[in-house]
Structure 1
Amino acid sequence: MINDRLIDAGELPIAVRDFGGDQPPLLLLHGAGGNLAMLTTLARALRPRHRVITMDLRGHGRSGDGPWSWDAALGDLAAVAVQMELDRPAVAGHSLGGMLAVLWGQRHPESPGVVSLDGNPPPTRIAQLPGLDPEKAAAELARLDAAFDGARAQMGRTITATELPDLVERQQMAARDMGANEKVWIEGFRRNLVHKNGETSMRPTAETADSLRTLMNEFDLGSIYASTPTPTLTVLATRNLPEQEPFADLYAAHRRYLVEQAATGAKLNPRMRHLQLADASHAMVIERPDVLASVIGDFLHQ
């Protein structure tokens, strides 16, 4: 039986969904701008080998709002583990959730393992774009930064009653284009809507998005890979999302950097492993949930 509940994390409530079962516990974390509903298909695929618990990260879905920091988010995970009586949970996460997963591994060597599903900061420096002409790299980074600024301007905006049906229809079309479960996709879209005082807005807020952008831009995966005391697996994308195609050269160079970074970490640390998932973009949790469930399960049970 799937069970939804709110966990008291101290300064705010954290919404969780427990998929049940008596197998070893696994916390499954979504990415920035997402929520627990978006992991439903992957959670179901993992359930035969794990008791899967998904959660809305602070500022997302049905969880409360609060200042965003790595320490605060890790405290939320710890509160969920304690109050749900999860003994030494493994942690797997996508994107932002993947970064949280590897940080959990840094602080919890007793964990049986952590898995990052393309949990990588975006490119911000020329050194992160090997093989790309430096002048072109600088221009592409400036263009990408401007695109992120444009997306930020849409965060937390008010959605009019006449606009909402069109947005839902566009989400349905996106689900069909991605080959995703339409019902799950729409639940994920609606879960980030906030209805208050007769107005509708979308989570996360612009303030939360700004905090996350700063945290991710400053995130140093290389040092974590080299020093993690917990078995760690990072799964890397091998192709672009449609919205990344205008930056195809930049993202191809950045994927080379991410592979080099993970390979260096694996050479320095026997607990670190990595793989490139064939025919998978950053949306791998939607594109290849069954394959990921097998990869995660095999890694955690080895």
Structure 2
Amino acid sequence: MPHDVTITDHVIPLVLRDHGGNGRPVLLLHGLGGTLEAWDTLDLGPGYRPVALDLRGHGLSGDGPWEWDSVLDDLEAVVKHLDLGNPAIVGHSLGGMLAVLWARRHPECPGIVNLDGLRSAENDPGNYPGMDPAARDEALVQLKATFDAQSASMGRPLPVELQPMFPARARVERDGEVYARPGADLLEAVRYTPEFRDIVPLLREVTCPALIVIPTQDPSGTQGGELMAAFRRGVRRDLAGLPEHIQVKELEAGHTMVTERPETIAALITEWLRPKMP
């Protein structure tokens, strides 16, 4: 049975959910704004020991500056605390970017799975090939305004009517008001880092096996239109010619593929990892 553990002998408290078992260890990393609960519906079967955690500044884990090396150190603390040895890493979105960075730090890693964690939708104009430049630039201005508004809203108390939209572990009370986690400061710290904007160049430095899963559909609940279609063209363009140990799989889903198609994602992960973690 899954059980939650809090690591207290690290620079910040880290909360993880160990799904148990004696199988191959797999560390599960959620996306920006998510929590370890994002993986609760993912069933990898009896051959694996999935461990999910709340990244720093998320869920019930502690706050700390968003520095990519420091977050990797958080992951090291989880691996050491549970004696996971040399786990595979599966990450969605921001977690997928962390998986790439982990693989660079740990070339001995048996494998990583990156679930649509390659680059921010808010990106350089050259990453939207085949789109009319004027329409592209206007769409990027609108996208930036949307992200600016979202980030600013995370720094304000949550209205009562919006609080149920956030899981309990993604809410925190301060001075009698309820706020969402992560806060605006963390979002802004992540948003403009080179790694978050585009992790694709670093893929070529990964020497362990890697599976990259990219969606074919617009994010659910949005009208991505031509900008997102051009964004996907840019991703496909930049993933061409990767070394053989890095495989790319397209999936009929949107960005929230773990929620949309958990059984398919679980099958992709287990079938791909099985020969790499006998």
Normalising by structure 1, report the TM-score: 0.86
Indicate the RMSD between aligned Cα atoms, in angstroms.
1.6
Q: Are the structure 2 counterparts of residues 275 and 81 from structure 1 closer, same or farther at C-alpha, using a change threshold of 3 Å?
A: same
Aligned residues: 274
**227, 247, 254: which one aligns with 2:231:** 254
Q: Is the 2:29–2:92 Cα contact (8 Å) retained in structure 1?
A: yes
Q: Is the 1:9–1:80 Cα contact (8 Å) retained in structure 2?
A: no
- Which residue matches 1:20? 20
**176, 179, 187: which one aligns with 1:198:** 176
Following superposition, the deviation at residue 240 of structure 1 comes to: 0.9
Q: Is the 2:219–2:254 Cα contact (8 Å) retained in structure 1?
A: yes
User: Whole-Å Cα distance in 1 between the matches of residues 20 and 31 of structure 2?
Assistant: 22
Q: Is the 1:156–1:204 Cα contact (8 Å) retained in structure 2?
A: no
Could you tell me which amino acid in structure 2 is paired with residue 87 of structure 1? G
User: Whole-Å Cα distance in 2 between the matches of residues 89 and 55 of structure 1?
Assistant: 14
User: Whole-Å Cα distance in 2 between the matches of residues 68 and 199 of structure 1?
Assistant: 24
Could you tell me which amino acid in structure 2 is paired with residue 257 of structure 1? G
Question: Any idea what SS the aligned residue of 2:52 has?
Answer: strand
- Which residue matches 2:138? 139
Q: Is the 1:125–1:141 Cα contact (8 Å) retained in structure 2?
A: no
User: Whole-Å Cα distance in 1 between the matches of residues 62 and 69 of structure 2?
Assistant: 16
- Which residue matches 2:148? 149
Question: Any idea what SS the aligned residue of 2:40 has?
Answer: helix
Following superposition, the deviation at residue 56 of structure 1 comes to: 0.3
Normalising by structure 2, report the TM-score: 0.93
- Which residue matches 1:273? 247
Question: Any idea what SS the aligned residue of 1:102 has?
Answer: helix
User: Whole-Å Cα distance in 2 between the matches of residues 191 and 102 of structure 1?
Assistant: 27
- Which residue matches 1:176? none
Is 1:74 matched up with 2:52? no
Could you tell me which amino acid in structure 1 is paired with residue 271 of structure 2? D
Following superposition, the deviation at residue 192 of structure 1 comes to: 0.5
- Which residue matches 2:259? 286
What aligned pairs does 1:52-67 form with structure 2 within 5 A after superposition? 52-67=50-65
User: Whole-Å Cα distance in 1 between the matches of residues 266 and 39 of structure 2?
Assistant: 11
Runs of 5+ unmatched residues, structure 1: 172-187
Deviation per CA, 1:25-57: give whole Å up to 9, x if none: 000010000100122101xx1142310000000
Question: Any idea what SS the aligned residue of 1:52 has?
Answer: strand
Identity within the alignment, %: 40
Q: Are the structure 2 counterparts of residues 238 and 293 from structure 1 closer, same or farther at C-alpha, using a change threshold of 3 Å?
A: same
Higher helix share: 1
User: Whole-Å Cα distance in 2 between the matches of residues 149 and 215 of structure 1?
Assistant: 15
Runs of 5+ unmatched residues, structure 2: none
Deviation per CA, 1:38-86: give whole Å up to 9, x if none: 22101xx114231000000000000000000111111100110011100
What aligned pairs does 1:122-201 form with structure 2 within 5 A after superposition? 122=120, 123-159=122-158, 163-164=160-161, 167-168=163-164, 171=165, 189-201=167-179
Question: Any idea what SS the aligned residue of 2:222 has?
Answer: helix
Following superposition, the deviation at residue 218 of structure 1 comes to: 5.6
Q: Are the structure 2 counterparts of residues 242 and 90 from structure 1 closer, same or farther at C-alpha, using a change threshold of 3 Å?
A: closer
Q: Are the structure 2 counterparts of residues 99 and 58 from structure 1 closer, same or farther at C-alpha, using a change threshold of 3 Å?
A: same
Q: Is the 2:123–2:197 Cα contact (8 Å) retained in structure 1?
A: no
Is 1:38 matched up with 2:38? yes
Could you tell me which amino acid in structure 2 is paired with residue 296 of structure 1? I
- Which residue matches 1:229? 207
User: Whole-Å Cα distance in 2 between the matches of residues 296 and 243 of structure 1?
Assistant: 26
Question: Any idea what SS the aligned residue of 1:31 has?
Answer: coil
Could you tell me which amino acid in structure 2 is paired with residue 272 of structure 1? I
Is 1:295 matched up with 2:272? no
Following superposition, the deviation at residue 156 of structure 1 comes to: 3.4
Moved over 3 A (4+): 216-220
